[in-house]
Amino acid sequence: MSDATDAWSAARASAVAGLEVAAVLGHNPTTFVDSVRSSLASPEERLSALGALGILDPSWTLAVLPEVVAYGVLSHRHALVARRLLGRIAEAELTPALDAVWLAREPSADYDEWRRIAEAFKYTGLHSSLARLTVEALTSSDPNIREVGEDYRSSAIEPSERT
């Protein structure tokens, strides 16, 4: 057996295990969500937790969205993995949920957090959310946050509205 064949077999086994987990989640979803939150909070388990969410129904990502944002989207290390998770969620569900997480942020959010969430809004095509963030950033007293607004001003326009 080749290394590639072994890797594929392991990937299939992981997918089957994920499907088995998904089949029993309805029995105790609160405990499951608590376990996911705990894993996301752990630097040692974070990447595998984000990966596991990627094989489950996107509704589980929505259930732990504040943690996915805090430990994934706002990080440099796991931002792409977290953005891909967000990209699996229907826009109608993601927009209000992600907006709520962003609006609940600490008032002391620094420009890097603003930039990471702007990237997530852009990546997932949430143009109206990006537009609101851009307007808010442009009125900030912090020049670095204003720079985020300037950098994303043109991206915040719906593609159909561009000339």
65, 89, 113 - which closes a domain: 89
**Is the overall model pTM greater than 0.85, yes or no?**
no
Output the DSSP codes for 94-131: HHHHHHHHHHTS-TT--HHHHHHHHHHHHHTT-HHHHH
Instruction: Give the model confidence (pLDDT) of 50-73 as tens digits.
Output: 998 998 889 999 999 999 999 999
Q: Which residues contact 54 (CB under 8 A, 6 or more apart)?
A: 81, 84, 85, 88
> Cα 10 vs. chain centroid, distance in angstroms?
26
Q: pLDDT of 84-102, one tens digit each?
A: 999 999 999 999 999 999 9
Domain stop point among 56, 89, 122: 89
CB 72 within 8 A of CB 78: yes
* Residue that is last in its domain, among 89, 114, 144: 89
Phi, psi of 36 (to 5 degrees): -65, -45
